[in-house]
Amino acid sequence: MKILVINTGSSSIKFKLFELPQEQELLGGTVEKIGEKKGSMRYMLTTPTGEKIEEQMEEAFTDYRSGLHKIAEVLFKREYGLLNNPEDIQVVGHRVVHGGERFSQPVRINDQVLQQIEALVPLAPLHNPPNLEGIKVSYEIFPAAQQMAVFDTAFHQTLPSFAYRYAIPHHFYEKHQVRVYGMHGTSHQYVAQQAAHYLERPLQNLHLITVHLGNGCSMTAIKEGKSFDTSMGFSPLAGLVMGTRSGDIDPAVIFYMGRRLQMSMDEIDQTLNKQSGLKGLAHSNDLRDIIQREAEGEQEAKQALELYTYRIKKYLGAYYAALGKVDAIIFTAGVGENSPLIRARSCAGLERLGILIDPAKNAAKTTTIREIQQPNSAVKILVIPTNEELAIAREAYELVQTKQSD
């Protein structure tokens, strides 16, 4: 069964084509800088004859529709031999960022589901609209395919009420659904499952801390296989220092910005979501650039990295306390998988908790799951590559199989 996974972000589209149940990746790529004057597309594919092809091009993509039609053009390119017509795609799996309290499992998309996703736009105004656009255009391009939605918030629906409620008047939750939802759930769940398989232990027997570090960053405490607490909250703005997002901040700062500095709500929103985090601290959200600048002696870069890794360390300690015991800490996503320096500094000083990184293992580079702790570390420290698109494809495939057996 051929399953296309579409992951529409705030200005990009990630896409992968899989053959399931073999879990063979036939095509993977990204359309970036949608809506800007100069965009780009890159992809890698494996032809039916086994030939590997990698392409990269610059092209302006005015909207998600133009990006998705370009993806379809690649899929149906005759010389690649991937697909002959749209009917070859049996399932399209969509990442939807916010499912609110309505969705704790993947669902087959129908008109009612679309309306419910649209109703959740106020909870994720930057993410759910592009997710919806991706679904609607997919219906046009692949009319015969089953369209499935996998929600980023679903994994966190197991949070206990004392972890997801805010200490504000009840009606904000009861009437307006103001609570912790968490994000990156697909990634946190995927790497937790991978860890259980690697450790040869049932997931329900494990206590884990998963650390997803990319341009967006979040951490999750996983108790007996279920999300117990998570760093992102009502929105993706809370928690860790991120590429352009502030992470945790005293709410009174927002009042000060509005009353004293006469900033509008839109200006405050833009500042905290797009101009803060590493970009606000060091004028760049490229961690590689900041690490290089610190190595050259720049104090601004040094302070940004100190703040970034200190916040991760604080959450490691907090989640260790919340769980009572920890079997493994898992680093994942672009930064978590590829930056030995960030991993080392985030765990430094936690030796009394039994968290001891081995410098040589940490510095080694591989694309597979690996352990980077010292032999006498009480807690395993794992680096596990995430694959949200494969996780979505698996969920969609299982949902199709369940529907067929009903």
The H or E element spanning position 161 is: helix 161-164
Query: 27 has which bridge partners?
Result: 17, 45
So what's the pLDDT on residue 404?
63
- Dihedral sign, CA of 169, 315, 339, 5? negative
What backbone torsions phi and psi does residue 362 show, to the nearest 5 degrees? -65, -35
Tens-digit pLDDT profile for residues 45-80: 988 888 899 999 998 898 889 999 999 999 998 888
So what's the pLDDT on residue 347?
98
Q: How many CB atoms lie within 10 A of CB 87?
A: 11
Tens-digit pLDDT profile for residues 116-173: 999 988 888 878 888 999 999 999 999 999 999 999 999 999 999 999 999 999 999 9
Query: 15 has which bridge partners?
Result: 6, 29
The H or E element spanning position 43 is: strand 40-46
Assigned fold of 200-388: Nucleotidyltransferase; domain 5 (3.30.420)
Contacts of 399 (CB under 8 A, 6+ apart): 106, 107, 108, 148
So what's the pLDDT on residue 67?
92
Catalytic residues: 152
Distance between CA 164 and CA 228 in Å, rounded? 9
Residues in the chain, pLDDT under 70? 403-406
The H or E element spanning position 290 is: helix 287-295
* Within this chain, domains 2-151 and 200-388 share the same CATH topology: yes
Q: What is the pTM of this model?
A: 0.91
So what's the pLDDT on residue 394?
93
So what's the pLDDT on residue 37?
85
**Angle CA(213)–CA(367)–CA(388) in degrees, nearest 5?**
50
Does CATH number 3.30.420.40 belong to domain 2-151? yes
So what's the pLDDT on residue 47?
87
Domain boundaries, the chain: 2-151, 200-388
Is residue 91 within 8 A of residue 401, CB to CB? The reply is no
So what's the pLDDT on residue 403?
65
